Structure 1
Amino acid sequence: MLKKDLHEANRLSWNAATRAHNSHKGDQARFLREGGSTLFPEELELLGELRGRSVLHLQCNSGQDTLSIAARGAQVTGVDISDEAIDFARALSAGSGLPGTFERSDVYDWLASAPPARFDLVFCSYGVIGWLSDLKPWAEGISRVLKPGGRFVLVEFHPVLWLFDDKLRLAYPYGGGHHVPEAVGVGDYVALSGEGLVPWGFEEGVRNFKNPNPCHSFQWGVGEVINSFLRSGLMLERLEEYCYANGCKMIEGMREAPGHRYLLPEGVPELPLMLGLSVRKAG
């Protein structure tokens, strides 16, 4: 069941956090104008050819990945619940010269009102599943807006990762849509990750950020995510698991590897830290 009151609390928390996140990223418009991209190889491989494709980027945050997709020749639409993120994305589109349409909305409301069979690709990435209070209407909405033969692509932190706190202590249940309230709100993971997320030059920006607004996340398992799409009539094409995390340093002592990837601390057995998923709508 949708928990719209908690979505609204998350909107406020993300508004505050987004300002802190972008304070570390310098002149992002210039980075994009000069041919820079925030996409990692994993999402590029799963997305495939983008030129001429219509792409919907759900929970797009401040639009950096959305516009990196636009730079490859796609027509992009980005949707996010955060006012701050969408305002920034629109300014980034204008400043970079990369065209994109950005709409502020709860993802559920947007999917319910959008015209059907409109997009070749729907895309989500990095820290999105945990903000969904109900998988069923999300997956059904994605299926509805995809054209026949269209695909949904997800590159996401693995649900196993969210069993642990930042000191790698087992702290949370697996799956079931369990509600996890966080009084501290969305944190400044950009400051913690440094150049992992800002390879063009991390800036100090906001220091010691403390979010005044709490947030609420939800625990979903891999099977629950996949089954939500199968029940919505989409077909599983590909499932990948990766024992590293792109860009984001979420566990104390994580080690940086080439390509701005992070590994678990020395001596800790490997665990899946990301997953990649592709599902297709019948043609």
Structure 2
Amino acid sequence: MTIHNEEAWNQHNYEALLNRHGDPAVVAEKVKQNPSWRLHPFYKYFSHLSGKKVMHVMGSNGIKGVALSLLGAQVTIVDFSKENQAFAREVASAAKVSLDYIVSDILSLHIEEHKEKYDYVLMELGVLHYFIDLFPLAEIISNLLRKDGKFILHEFHPISTKLITSSGKKHKVTGNYFDPALFKREVAFSKHMPQEINEGTEEVLQRKWTLGELITTIGQSGMLIEVLEEEPNHKIHDIGLPKTFTLVARKI
């Protein structure tokens, strides 16, 4: 599954990033104007970032990594897309900050080189569904953190990804919240690419998780869950439905 998804994320992704975000130098200037805004709504769970070591797992295009660097953190990104790395390095260079960008699947990371080095491990938005087993991931995250270091996870709420579909004011329960099946879908950046290119692009495999599965895994991995904040959907017709959540766990 990992090999399949890695192939998909190394096709045309750099071009899609340019289509979505624009020139890296322009992106850098925008991030520099208000770096903390790029980390909303979980920025409040970081404290005194200056000099702190942060690993952004599956850190994608590096925009949030650059924001963290501008706020004084020493940032390492782990992501298996070389095209993400290329874009991230250009944004970081234009912003005049440094990023350590490791092209690797997080499960293949040489953990001994990073063990207990980080004050924070960050994961955010559309990442958990790339794992068919959360326990190895949680074990790695726990090993990366120093004692009292924090894992900050900001993700799409499973109510919105597994259960409910919305169209205007209409909401329908169309999914099975407890379905553990793998499924195929277009790679996330495909919406920023021409249709003729997407037709030849590999799909990704995903497995969607319930909150119970996630919390159980984190709770059994040497981390203490301190926060589970469920965040509402801000679209006017979807107010009252959870859109995202932020989980904060401290290594004990």
TM-score (norm 1): 0.77
Deviation at 1:77, TM superposition (A): 0.1
Equivalent in 236, 248, 252 of residue 278 of structure 1:
248
Flag the 1:173–1:48 CA change in 2: closer, same or farther, 3 A.
Answer: farther
Counterparts of 1:1-283 in structure 2, within 5 Å, are 6-16=1-11, 18=13, 19-33=15-29, 35-36=32-33, 37=35, 39-110=38-109, 112=111, 114-163=113-162, 164=164, 169-175=172-178, 177-182=180-185, 184-189=186-191, 191=192, 206-208=193-195, 210=198, 212-244=201-233, 262-263=234-235, 266=237, 268=238, 270-282=240-252
Among all aligned residue pairs of Structure 1 and Structure 2, give the percentage whose two residues are the same amino acid.
25
Q: Is the 8 A contact 1:81 1:106 kept in 2?
A: yes
Structure 1: state its 5+ residue gaps: 1-5, 192-205, 245-261
Q: Is the 8 A contact 1:32 1:68 kept in 2?
A: no
Q: Is the 8 A contact 1:187 1:210 kept in 2?
A: no
1:195 matched to which residue of 2? none
Helix, strand or coil at the partner of 2:41:
helix
**Higher RCO (CA 8 Å, separation ≥ 6 residues):** 1
Give the stretch that moved more between structures: 154-163 or 11-20. 11-20
TM-score (norm 2): 0.86
Q: Is the 8 A contact 2:125 2:154 kept in 1?
A: yes
Instruction: For 2:213, give the aligned amino acid.
Output: E
Q: Is the 8 A contact 1:111 1:145 kept in 2?
A: no
Paired with 1:81 and 1:154, the residues of 2 have a C-alpha distance of 19
Paired with 1:84 and 1:215, the residues of 2 have a C-alpha distance of 16
Q: Is the 8 A contact 2:17 2:87 kept in 1?
A: no
Paired with 1:169 and 1:105, the residues of 2 have a C-alpha distance of 39
Paired with 1:92 and 1:216, the residues of 2 have a C-alpha distance of 29
Flag the 1:110–1:171 CA change in 2: closer, same or farther, 3 A.
Answer: farther
Paired with 1:225 and 1:65, the residues of 2 have a C-alpha distance of 23
Paired with 1:174 and 1:52, the residues of 2 have a C-alpha distance of 41
Paired with 2:85 and 2:174, the residues of 1 have a C-alpha distance of 33
Q: What root-mean-square deviation, in Å, do the aligned CA atoms of Structure 1 and Structure 2 show?
A: 2.3
Deviation at 1:124, TM superposition (A): 0.7
Deviation at 1:176, TM superposition (A): 5.9
Deviation at 1:175, TM superposition (A): 4.5
Q: Is the 8 A contact 1:147 1:281 kept in 2?
A: yes
Give the stretch that moved more between structures: 7-16 or 57-66. 7-16
Instruction: For 1:276, give the aligned amino acid.
Output: T
Helix, strand or coil at the partner of 2:10:
helix
Flag the 1:31–1:132 CA change in 2: closer, same or farther, 3 A.
Answer: same
Helix, strand or coil at the partner of 1:241:
strand
Deviation at 1:270, TM superposition (A): 2.1
Instruction: For 1:45, give the aligned amino acid.
Output: K
Q: Is the 8 A contact 2:79 2:104 kept in 1?
A: yes
Deviation at 1:181, TM superposition (A): 1.9
Question: Which protein has the bigger helix share?
Answer: 2
Q: Is the 8 A contact 1:111 1:142 kept in 2?
A: no
Instruction: For 1:219, give the aligned amino acid.
Output: K
